[in-house]
Amino acid sequence: MFKKILIANRGEIACRVMATAKKMGIATVAVYSEADKEARHVRLADEAVLLGPAPSRESYLVADKIIAAAKQTGAEAIHPGYGFLSENEDFAKRCEDEGLVFIGPKAHSIAAMGDKIASKKLANEAGVNTIPGYNDPIPSAEKAVEIAKGIGYPVMIKASAGGGGKGLRVAYNDKEALEGFTACQNEARNSFGDDRIFIEKFVEQPRHIEIQILGDSHGNVIYLNERECSIQRRHQKVIEEAPSPFITEATRKAMGEQAVALAKAVQYQSAGTVEFVVGKNQDFYFLEMNTRLQVEHPVTECITGLDLVELMIRVAAGEKLPLTQADVKRDGWAIECRINAEDPFRNFLPSTGRLVRFTPPRETMWQADTGHKYGVRVDTGVFEGGEIPMYYDSMIAKLIVHGKDRNDAIAKMREALNGFVIRGISSNIPFQAALLAHPDFVSGNFNTGFIAQHYAGGFRAEDVPHEDPDFLVALAAFVRRKSRERATGLSGQLPGYGVKVGSDFTVISLSPDGQHRYTPVHVDEFTGETGYAAVVVNGKRYKITSSSRLNDIVITGECNGQPFTAQMERGSAKNPLALVVQHNGTKLETMVVSPRMAELHKLMPFKAPPDMSQYVLSPMPGLLVEVAVQPGQKVQAGERVAVIEAMKMENILFAAADGVVAKVLANKGDSLVVDQPIVEFEK
């Protein structure tokens, strides 16, 4: 067994590999860029080596520097994690040539499966179901349109070296095929240095289901059941679960056996994933093989009780797989939510900056520890006070739960999301909460078009209907009553002017457009010592018990005998007197006041926000890579104005209306903040 390994990655996956290495008694070496010098993976490692500047192409993608770091520190093996160089055959071969063990498949397996065109031909030969399509590189956009017509729309245009949603478009007509081909080619060239494109039939109402496989150097290959990954946004997975609520036992077995046949055809050694697209009638077709550990591997670890990273390391060290196909278990149900640094209410644009608060829910399951079941696990590479840089992926944590069945897992996940505190940047937690509550998700009736279908116009606060809005009002009143009780005990109050606590309050639900809602509430049976009160809202009685302190953001307790987890904060950006309640994805900004104060509040004039329609504002923090207009230029609605880059994605800003440019307020190369003006139009 290795004594020391280098992890050629960053973030949560680097921390994940270190957890298993520590369990196995293996020393670890981290590598980092200048942007990551204070990162969690650097702190957790036994040693750390600086690679270079922040951009990946100057640090995490430079094979020479990584191999030099391994030799310099005496590491015998390199674990690539996922992304970066994990599926780079040249890097895997370089490691072997330099006498280092690559903890992953052999270079020839990566080469065979990494090329989507070659892998499809190989899959055909191995007897694996494949989708109809054109499997040779396409020379031009015009030829792409001709081929697409021949296959029949809709078609999927894919970069041969693509991944992570890049270099992939669905086209429903000639125009989309023409534009999609060019866009895919540009993205693939910039992201992967390979602009070969192919086209295949797009399966309608498709599910994305993948089979986890494991192979060793002794010819043994097994499959570890499936993962359901159909909840996707722009081809990026959002929620994954194991097993799938859709496929039958017969389909599971057939898919698993085909995945094993494909792995054996390329002498696959290590953990890998064979991805299938599954039609509504359980017809399934090979999509691609990921020759690495997947982001969503924890859900498989939960239901099988296996540590996939440990098995990867043991296989790389030449050991045989310690189990056969008959030994593979399927216990309970696991769900993973990807917690991303993005603002769901601003069309999921990246959100970078400092994590002012980062408090995940309490963990009862841990990485590299498969002995604990039916709980909550958090895989992350960040910490409170740390920075989310603009140069890398937007994922800041993975929240994993394991339940006895699917409904139990969904309930556990909703509670865990309620207790996940992230401040300083925006996160997609409200969106995750909405997805988990959606009737079609709960029933298992969904496909890869689920998000596009239900949130076609983007995601808005009203897309998260709370099952009991009066509970949020009651909770705000409960906390306010508790704080008033504490205020009565403060010493030094003037006689006759001390704080008095009443039983009647009005909860003002604040609205940005000034259409506030005023709800009378009555609080009785209050007992400060036990943290109990009964709150009457609209004729409904809420008996709330909570021992949480007033300065706790996360409040736990029981309401009418049912446990709850919610978040409560004093003050908001606009109102220091507000009490902000968050529960099940819904956020309510309130003021809890006396009935008389509520009457006076109704008389307050509403101050409308300033009109910013003549400006193009930066919708996110990022780097301004292009300003496409200049002062005096006439611009039409829909015309390109600027391009901002953040978290490996380019975002194009378009003019909302016709106009003439008055001023350009930011320059190429500037680092922008949210809502920073870039261009001003004449009024």
* Helix/strand/coil (H/E/C) assignment for every residue in 570-593: ECCCCCCCCEEEEECCEEEEEEEE
pLDDT the model gives residue 164 = 64
Ramachandran angles phi, psi of 157, nearest 5°: -100, 125
Burial pattern 190-224, b for ≥16 Cβ within 10 A else e, equals: ebbebbbbbbbbbbeebbbbbbbbbbbbeebbbbb
> What are the tokens at 75?
């590491």
pLDDT the model gives residue 661 = 94
Active-site residue, from 200, 288, 296, 336: 288
Whether pLDDT at 332 is above 90: yes
Residue with tokens 């006396």: 594
Whether pLDDT at 90 is above 80: yes
Contact predicate 285/275, CB 8 Å: no
CB-CB neighbours of 521 under 10 Å: 24
Contact predicate 567/421, CB 8 Å: yes
> What are the tokens at 531?
């943290």
CB-side neighbour CA atoms (13 Å) of 324: 1
H or E element, residue 278? strand 270-278
The better pLDDT of the pair 104, 497 is held by 104
Residue with tokens 């959606």: 438
Work out the pLDDT band at 468, boundaries 50, 70, 90: very high
**Alpha-carbon gap, residue 624 to 631, rounded angstroms:** 17
Whether pLDDT at 459 is above 70: yes
The question of whether 288 is a catalytic residue gets the answer: yes
Instruction: Name every residue whose Cβ is closer than 8 Å to that of residue 573 and which is 6 or more positions away in sequence.
Output: none
Strand, coil or helix: 126: coil
To 5 degrees, how large is the angle CA 413–CA 418–CA 422? Answer: 110
Work out the pLDDT band at 357, boundaries 50, 70, 90: very high
pLDDT the model gives residue 461 = 81
| Longest Cα separation, the chain | 91
Whether pLDDT at 135 is above 80: no
Contact predicate 156/162, CB 8 Å: no
- Nearest C-alpha neighbor of 535 from the set 468, 587, 597: 468
Residue with tokens 């706790």: 552
Strand, coil or helix: 438: coil
- Most confident region among 302-316, 461-475, 513-527 by mean pLDDT: 302-316
Whether pLDDT at 344 is above 90: yes
**Alpha-carbon gap, residue 639 to 658, rounded angstroms:** 9
Q: Provide the sign of the torsion angle of the four alpha carbons 278, 284, 287, 289, taken in this order.
A: positive
637, burial (CB in 10 Å: exposed 0-12, middle 13-18, buried 19+): exposed
pLDDT the model gives residue 528 = 81
Mean pLDDT calculated for residue range 252-256: 97
Mean per-residue pLDDT over the chain, rounded: 93
Contact predicate 480/592, CB 8 Å: yes
- Nearest C-alpha neighbor of 297 from the set 405, 381, 400: 400
Question: pLDDT, tens digit, for every residue of 184-212?
Answer: 988 888 777 888 898 988 887 899 999 99
pTM to 2 decimal places: 0.86
Contact predicate 233/434, CB 8 Å: no
Strand, coil or helix: 119: helix
Domains of the chain: 4-103 (3.40.50.20), 135-201 (3.30.1490.20), 207-453 (3.30.470.20), 469-602 (3.30.700.30), 615-681 (2.40.50.100)
- Nearest C-alpha neighbor of 126 from the set 244, 250, 268: 268
Contact predicate 54/389, CB 8 Å: yes
To 5 degrees, how large is the angle CA 360–CA 362–CA 367? Answer: 85
Work out the pLDDT band at 645, boundaries 50, 70, 90: confident
Contact predicate 332/225, CB 8 Å: no
Whether pLDDT at 117 is above 80: no
Q: Kindly report the length of the chain.
A: 683
The better pLDDT of the pair 162, 367 is held by 367
Contact predicate 195/188, CB 8 Å: yes
Whether pLDDT at 387 is above 80: yes
Mean pLDDT calculated for residue range 223-241: 95
> What are the tokens at 21?
């290495």
Strand, coil or helix: 240: strand
Share of the chain above pLDDT 90, in %: 74
Secondary structure (DSSP) of 140-168? -HHHHHHHHHHH-SSEEEEEEEEETTEEE
pLDDT the model gives residue 208 = 96
> What are the tokens at 216?
């060793």
Residue with tokens 């009378």: 520
Whether pLDDT at 116 is above 80: no
Whether pLDDT at 648 is above 70: no
> What are the tokens at 496?
């006759």
- Nearest C-alpha neighbor of 660 from the set 628, 640, 677, 683: 683
> What are the tokens at 605?
């004039």
pLDDT the model gives residue 281 = 86
Mean pLDDT calculated for residue range 629-645: 91
Mean pLDDT calculated for residue range 335-361: 92
Question: In the β-sheet with 677-681, what is the strand arrangement from edge to edge?
Answer: 615-617, 677-681, 659-664, 634-635
- Nearest C-alpha neighbor of 409 from the set 245, 579, 226, 628: 245
Share of the chain above pLDDT 70, in %: 99
Contact predicate 409/365, CB 8 Å: no
Whether pLDDT at 607 is above 90: no
Secondary structure (DSSP) of 336-381? EEEEESEEGGGTTEE--EE-SEEEPPPPSSBTTB-S--SSEEEEES
Whether pLDDT at 179 is above 70: yes
Q: Is the peptide bond before 469 cis (omega within 30 degrees of 0)?
A: no
**Alpha-carbon gap, residue 571 to 663, rounded angstroms:** 36
The better pLDDT of the pair 454, 352 is held by 454
Ramachandran angles phi, psi of 351, nearest 5°: -130, 110
Instruction: Name every residue whose Cβ is closer than 8 Å to that of residue 622 and which is 6 or more positions away in sequence.
Output: 350, 352, 390, 644, 645, 646, 651, 671, 672
Mean pLDDT calculated for residue range 311-320: 98
pLDDT the model gives residue 96 = 94
> What are the tokens at 63?
């094979």
